[in-house]
Amino acid sequence: MCGRYAATLPPEMMVELFNLLNKIDFPPRYNIAPTQPIAVIWEQQGRRTIQLVRWGFVPNWVKDPREFSLLINARAETMAEKPSFRDAVRHGRCIIPASGYYEWMKGKDGVRRPYYITMADGSPMVFAGLYSNWSGPSGEEVDTACIVTVEPNLEISSIYDRMPAMLTGEAVELWLNTREVDVKAATQLALPLPPGSLRYHPVGKAIGRADAEGPELIRPLSDEELAAEEVKPVKPKKVASGGGQLDLF
């Protein structure tokens, strides 16, 4: 699962990297959590734009989002079959730019520790995503999205059993092209990255708090700092409904 990530790319860089028609002022974020606004990119009629949407997918057929489960991830292997996602796989594919993401690994001592995961070459991550536009009975509209996940590659398998589907090169163009790239072809784009593509390092357990923010969250911990944190283990803080990390798969 991917339940926390960072996005620090400047708006101008995203416009250039992804050939966008618009720009949004989105400050650097180091601890993006479910239900918060996230920047996503989609393509409609050949026009590629970036939008702020809610992280937590709501299918357009849901009557009341408040009574619907929080869907922050979609399994690539089953997304085309699941009622919640199958329409979005056909018509609502998007990408989600990121600088890195966090995952918790349980050590041999049973203690879970957070790691920050980035591209090995320092390039931005491009998560495969799905989006939906929900319209309410009173005319209200909410755009929502989720991150597609896949089996882990060699590096991540030692940390967790899932990872975000990350797109590179031509796969970005094909994923966004819902006019010409069908569901079967799109699902074949959501694959684990080759071994050697990622790197990771331990970070402080403050990342478990949804209100934690700032560049210090991605700073690698020294051996001394790791030892100090192990003296008094701190479990990730659970957030009330609507703001927590939930794995629904």
Q: Which of 35, 64, 36, 68 is nearest to 138 (CA)?
A: 64
Residue 103 is a catalytic residue: yes
CA torsion through residues 66, 69, 71, 74, sign:
negative
The type of residue at 38 is: I
Catalytic member of 43, 94, 103, 146: 103
Q: Measured between alpha carbons, how far is 76 from 187 in angstroms, rounded to an integer?
A: 7
Residue 94 is a catalytic residue: no
Q: Measured between alpha carbons, how far is 169 from 19 in angstroms, rounded to an integer?
A: 14
Q: Measured between alpha carbons, how far is 242 from 237 in angstroms, rounded to an integer?
A: 14
Catalytic member of 2, 43, 94, 146: 2
Catalytic residue annotation: 2, 103
